[in-house]
Structure 1
Amino acid sequence: MSSIVDSILGASPWIVLGLVALVVFAEDALFVGFVLPGETAALLGGVAAHRGHVPLVAVMAVVVVAAIVGDTVGYEVGKRLGPRLLGLRIFDKRRDRLDGAQNFLARRGGSAVLLGRWVAFFRAVMPALAGASRMPYRTFLTWNATGGLLWGTAVVLAGYLAGASYARVEQAIGRDGALVALAIALLGLLVWRIRRHRRGGGGADDGTGKDAQPHERAHS
């Protein structure tokens, strides 16, 4: 396994970036995460940057963009295929986990998209589930972009800082990533609700932005 990893890390910088982008994208858009998590590819990209083989900023940009675009494609697949997608045989052995992901999405709404980014199985299915549930795309995109930016930056940096010890970092992220994401998502949800409350807390009006009092005086 280490020889395979070394051969990948020693390939042309464009090939390294292309492979990283392809796996991260396909994980969310095509369910490749069941076989090879995009998290591993992002970590290896960080390791390649640590070795000076590719620029760190380039790896971050590739991972973040691939994550966001991959989620968007997964969302569209779920929106268009709906129940037929959820009935695929690929989910037969993971039916309980899929049901859990659907319940999680129903409870958390948009924040589940961000949280799902930190758990391998959720990362692979959450975009499609959001599309199948008809979540408004604007809501999905907001949480998707936030999750892609946070996850992509964190995982690539973890691989960069770990260097040759990336395998241990990969295990740690898989175990603790959901807890970190939960804290971030809850904070974001709190800020969103406070802002929504403030926007909706203005004075009484008739929906046109005009005060209703002159109309009331005309009938008194």
Structure 2
Amino acid sequence: MHTLVQWLGGLSGPVVYAVVGALVFLEDAIFVGFVLPGETAVVIGGVLASQGAVSVGWLILVVVAAAVVGDSVGYEIGSRVGPRVLATRPLRRHAHRVRSAQDLIRRRGPVAVFLGRFIAFFRAMMPALAGVSHMPYPRFLLFNALGGITWGAGFTLLGYFAGTAYARVERVAGRVIAVVVAAVVVVALVVWHVRRRRRERAQEGDGAR
């Protein structure tokens, strides 16, 4: 991630907006999230905003717009292609998780669109599955927009405040202590991420039953 931050930090502001927005859009539209979750790009964008490379306000607008439009494209693909989209190679390798996502959307309907925004695999899959299930688009768009706004603003600000906190500690206590604090934060985030993935798998298993 540090290398990606350095690479993005060397780009001009408009290019940073474009790269982050494109990653979020592609994750939702054509399942690029299997390779690089849009969530990662959004947090990194927030870190760069804390460094003054881009405006945090404009970045939130770009992220939310990319999330909503990308989801709409994913919905349209699912609606037009139908169940055949589930036979594509990337999805065949995740058949069990696809079934869990289908079960969630059957049980929760539009609410699944909102909840799916906060789970990496479901975030990439839920729009297409909503289209496959022929969920009315206005209903999909409402919950899609609510999820996109909450997720986009939340994770952008997470990166922004994390970057701001690091800079403040570095100024007050020096680089060594700042690095130690950052390392502790990274370990805490890794533990949180692992626990969250375990909970997601447990929820998927419950959904499959």
Range class of TM-score, shorter chain: 0.7 to 0.9
**Does 2:56 match 1:56?**
yes
Give CA deviations for 1:48-83 in whole Å, capped at 9, x if unaligned.
100011011011000000000000000000000011
| Cα distance between partner residues in 2 of 1:70 and 1:13 | 22
Amino acid at match of 2:48: A
Higher relative helix content: 2
- 2:17 corresponds to: 17
**Does 2:37 match 1:37?**
yes
- Does the Cα contact within 8 Å between 1:9 and 1:44 map onto a contact in 2? no
- 2:90 corresponds to: 90
| Cα distance between partner residues in 2 of 1:14 and 1:158 | 21
| Cα distance between partner residues in 1 of 2:154 and 2:20 | 15
How many residues are treated as equivalent by the alignment?
178
TM-score by length of 2: 0.80
Which has the higher Rg, Structure 1 or Structure 2?
1
Amino acid at match of 1:22: A
4+ aligned runs moved over 2 Å, structure 1: 1-5, 164-177
- 1:147 corresponds to: 147
| Cα distance between partner residues in 2 of 1:70 and 1:168 | 32
| Cα distance between partner residues in 1 of 2:196 and 2:2 | 25
Give CA deviations for 1:59-110 in whole Å, capped at 9, x if unaligned.
1000000000000000000000011101111112210000000000000000
| Cα distance between partner residues in 1 of 2:188 and 2:161 | 10
Q: CA RMSD for the aligned pairs?
A: 2.0
Give CA deviations for 1:4-39 in whole Å, capped at 9, x if unaligned.
421212211111110000000000001000000000
Amino acid at match of 2:68: I
Amino acid at match of 2:149: L
Amino acid at match of 2:86: L
TM-score by length of 1: 0.76
